[in-house]
Each structure stands twice: as C-alpha cells, then as structure tokens.
Amino acid sequence: MKSLVLSLVSLLALYSVNCEVYYEEKFPDDSWESNWVYSEHPGKEFGKFKLTAGKFYNDPEEDKGLQTSEDARFYALSRKFKPFSNEGKDLVIQFTVKHEQDIDCGGGYVKVFDCNLDQKDMHGESPYEIMFGPDICGPGTKKVHVIFSYKGKNHLIKKDIRCKDDVHTHLYTLVVKPDNKYEVLIDNEKVEDGNLEDDWDFLPPKKIKDPEAKKPEDWDDRATIPDPDDTKPEDWDKPEHIPDPDASKPEDWDDEMDGEWEPPMIDNPDYKGVWSPKQIDNPAYKGAWIHPEIDNPEYTEDKNLYLRKEICAVGLDLWQVKSGTIFDNILFTDDLEVAKARGEELKKTLEGEKKMKSAQDEAEREKEKAEKPEEEDDEDLDDEIAPEGESAPVEEHDEL
C-alpha cells in the first residue's frame, strides 16, 4: 500500500512539473482595482466594472467576478502578466461568462495581447493575438468568436459555433495545439475542432484553377437534347383563351352607347401550352467539364500558424447595450486537463446558482399572484342582479 501511495505522489509531482499555469484570475477581492487598468482612449464613453457574485450564486464570495454595470457603454479593461510563448506546447485559454441580465446585444469575449499593448489607450483597433468568446446581438447573432491575428491581419473562423444565451454561468475553453489543430469547449464539452489552415483563411489556397486551361470548343456538356425525330401534333395549337360560350349580352347593353358587345374571355380547357420536343439522352455527352487545377505559386506552408511568440495581457474590450455580464475564472495554461479540472469544480457553482435562481423566480411568481386584485365573490355579483320578476333599479337623473 505504501509503495502505491508513493507511486501516486511521484506521478502527481511529475504532472505538476510538466504543467504550467501562466496566469489565473478568480477576482477574490478588491485587489483587482490595482492590477487591472482602465483604458482612457479618447472619444469613447467607457463603462465601469464592479466586483460581485450577482443576483444568484452558489457562494457569495467564491463566485465573485467583474460585472459590467452601466447600460449602452463600451468597456475597456486589461491586465498584464509575465510574458510567455506557446512554442511547442498547447495553449489553453479559459474563462467563465454569466449573462445574468438576459443579454440582448453585447460581447462576452476576451482579447489576448502581446506586451506592446498600451493599456491606457486600449480600444477596438488595438492589435491583439487572439479574440475568443461569446457574442450575442438579437436572434441572428449568437456565436463564439475565435479570431487569430496573422501577419498583421485578424482572421475569423469560417465555422459557426453557437454560444450559450441563458442567464447562467458557462465555461468557455479554447485549445490551440502545436500541430496547428484546435478545439473549442463549452462547459467542458467539445463543440468544435479542426485545423487552423482549413478553418481560417491565413494562407492562400494550395491549388488554383489553371489559367492556361480552357474548355475545348467541341466539349458537349448537355446531358439531354431535344429529340430530332419528335414532331408537333397537328391538333396541338389551341388558343390560350376563348370567348365564354355561356356569356350573353346584357339586356340593357346599348351598342351605340357601350360599343359592340364582346363576350368575356376564359381559359381554354383544350390549351396545351407551348410545344417542345421531348428530351433524349445526348449521345455526345462528355460530362461536366472540370477546370484543371495547379499548385498555387503563392502558397507557402506555415507549420507555425498556432505560434504566439509573446502573450502578455488579457483584456475585456467590448460593447454592451444592457449591462450585467460577469467575467470570472480566467486561466492560461498549457494543459487541458488542468483546465478541465477547474471546470469540474465550477459545476457546483452552476448547480447552486440554478437552485437560487429557481427559488427567486418562484418567490416572484408568488408575489405577483398575491398582488393581483381578488375577483368578486359570486354573492357580490348576485346582489347586483335584480330578483326574478323585478326590473333592475333605474338611476335617477336631474331633469334638464
């Protein structure tokens, strides 16, 4: 038994040595105010964040995070930390978002910067390395952004990843691997994966259409052709409309006054439409012509699409119409298992806040029910109805 315990301890020690947590933020107290920096970029009316667990939670202290507090505002807040690179390693970016205001339009993402970020001048055009997280605006936009900077340009993922849009806490995780593969997880469940080269437009296409190739003039790509032996029947041509045979000239019709009477036109039941010969298989059909492709001379493979040479800061740079989003549990590491372990710890947070929210909703329903005016009793209604055989009393009015 002792040897087994020692083996487990050794494995845990090895695991901790090989794993790196580059930065973690749980906002335990007001110290964030001295570590995070508000932007002072001119021309924007920035909103303020406040530290709170929100209106419903599992633990009032453990569940505290930074919440947007002013409606219709830009938000620009950032934190720098010790620089690191993901060269040759996995990069895991993870955080929680809680849209407890039932968000209608606003961002819930984070931006990742290098050390060149001017925190007091951070704004929407500030260059960043990665932008990741949910964005909601009306029923049409409910997506998870995954945007990478490459050679000075921002590249959006070509896939549509749907985000969570309820009022509870959700965990968003991005994993970028040194083989140029990636994964996106929500609440510790994988919702998308793929290859950076395939799902972004970082590089020009590997193949292009051969500019020298042209479809041969004698290439017949018609699958069918009109039957040359088919002829139109002699009785085919009929007018589309004919005079109504059941119509008769009105008795009061005056030819001199109304002009010569003509019966109204109706659809001809014998009309067969425009004739065309039947189609037959084309004996000269060669199939659809496919434009030949050649290697694109402008394409150069890049095995380091994943690489971020320097990661130094995280920022909340977004716009919200209705405030109330809480950001928390920010994590940068090179080990997905560490991130998943944090996610498992957060399950009790979600369970607790759902329980509290449900109790609040029930209390609100009971309050609304109690505040509704009581319906009149049947006895009161009966008093207003005259007894059978008697007329209802007539109100007296002053004579004019």
In tens, the pLDDT along 335-352 reads 999 999 999 999 999 999
Identity of the amino acid at 259: G
Residue matched to tokens 């940068």: 332
Section 144-173 average pLDDT: 96
What residues are paired with 193 via a beta bridge? 183
Closest CA to 221 of 295, 304, 302, 284: 284
Section 13-40 average pLDDT: 86
pLDDT at 281 over 50: yes
∠256-262-265 over CA atoms, to 5°?
155
Identify the residue with better confidence: 117 or 2.
117
Looking at 177-181, 355-359, 374-378, which range is the least confident one? 374-378
Q: What tens digit of pLDDT does each residue of 183-217 get? A: 999 999 999 999 999 999 999 999 999 999 999 99
pLDDT, averaged across the chain = 90
Looking at 122-126, 303-307, 396-400, which range is the least confident one? 396-400
Task: Quote the pLDDT of residue 255.
Answer: 87
Q: What tens digit of pLDDT does each residue of 224-233 get? A: 999 999 999 9
Identify the residue with better confidence: 208 or 380.
208
* Domains delineated in the chain: 18-205+304-359 (2.60.120.200)
pLDDT category at 38 given cuts 50, 70, 90 is very high
179 vs 88: CA distance, rounded Å: 9
Task: Quote the pLDDT of residue 335.
Answer: 97
Identify the residue with better confidence: 304 or 371.
304
43's tokens: 């021309």
Dihedral angle sign, alpha carbons of residues 5, 10, 15, 21: positive
Q: How remote is the C-alpha of 92 from its chain's centroid?
A: 21
Judge whether 150 is annotated as a binding position. Answer: no
319 vs 317: CA distance, rounded Å: 7
Percent of the chain whose predicted confidence (pLDDT) is above 90: 81
Task: Quote the pLDDT of residue 18.
Answer: 73
Task: Quote the pLDDT of residue 392.
Answer: 46
Task: Quote the pLDDT of residue 398.
Answer: 44
pLDDT at 358 over 70: yes
Judge whether 128 is annotated as a binding position. Answer: yes
Q: What tens digit of pLDDT does each residue of 56-78 get? A: 999 999 999 999 999 999 999 99
249 vs 116: CA distance, rounded Å: 92
Identity of the amino acid at 17: V
107 vs 207: CA distance, rounded Å: 37
pLDDT category at 14 given cuts 50, 70, 90 is very low
What residues are paired with 317 via a beta bridge? 76
pLDDT category at 378 given cuts 50, 70, 90 is low
Q: Are 173 and 339 in contact (CB under 8 A)?
A: yes
- Global pTM reads 0.76
Judge whether 201 is annotated as a binding position. Answer: no
Judge whether 109 is annotated as a binding position. Answer: yes
Task: Quote the pLDDT of residue 146.
Answer: 98
Section 164-186 average pLDDT: 97
86 vs 174: CA distance, rounded Å: 13
Task: Quote the pLDDT of residue 54.
Answer: 95
Q: What tens digit of pLDDT does each residue of 296-305 get? A: 999 999 999 9
Q: What is the 3-state secondary structure (H, E, C) of the chain?
A: CHHHHHHHHHHHHHHHHHCCEEEEECCCCCCHHHHCEECCCCCCCECCEEEECCCCCCCCCCCCEEEECCCCEEEEEEEEEEEECCCCCCEEEEEEEEECCCCCEEECCEEEECCCCCHHHCCCCCCCCEEEEEEEECCCEEEEEEEEEECCEEEECCCCCECCCCCCEEEEEEEECCCCEEEEEECCEEEEEEEHHHHCCCCCCCEEECCCCCCCCCCCCCCEEECCCCCCCCCCCCCCEEECCCCCCCCCCCHHHHCCCCCCEEECCCCCCCCCCCEEECCCCCCCCCCCEEECCCCCCCCCCCCCCCEEEEEEEEEECCCCEEEEEEEEECCHHHHHHHHHHHHHHHHHHHHHHHHHHHHHHHHHHHHCCCCCCHHHHHHCCCCCCCCCCCCCCCCC
27 vs 48: CA distance, rounded Å: 15
Section 313-322 average pLDDT: 96
**Strand pairing class (293-295; 91-99):** unpaired
Buried b (16+ CB within 10 A) or exposed e, 21-30: ebbebbbeee
Identify the residue with better confidence: 366 or 149.
149
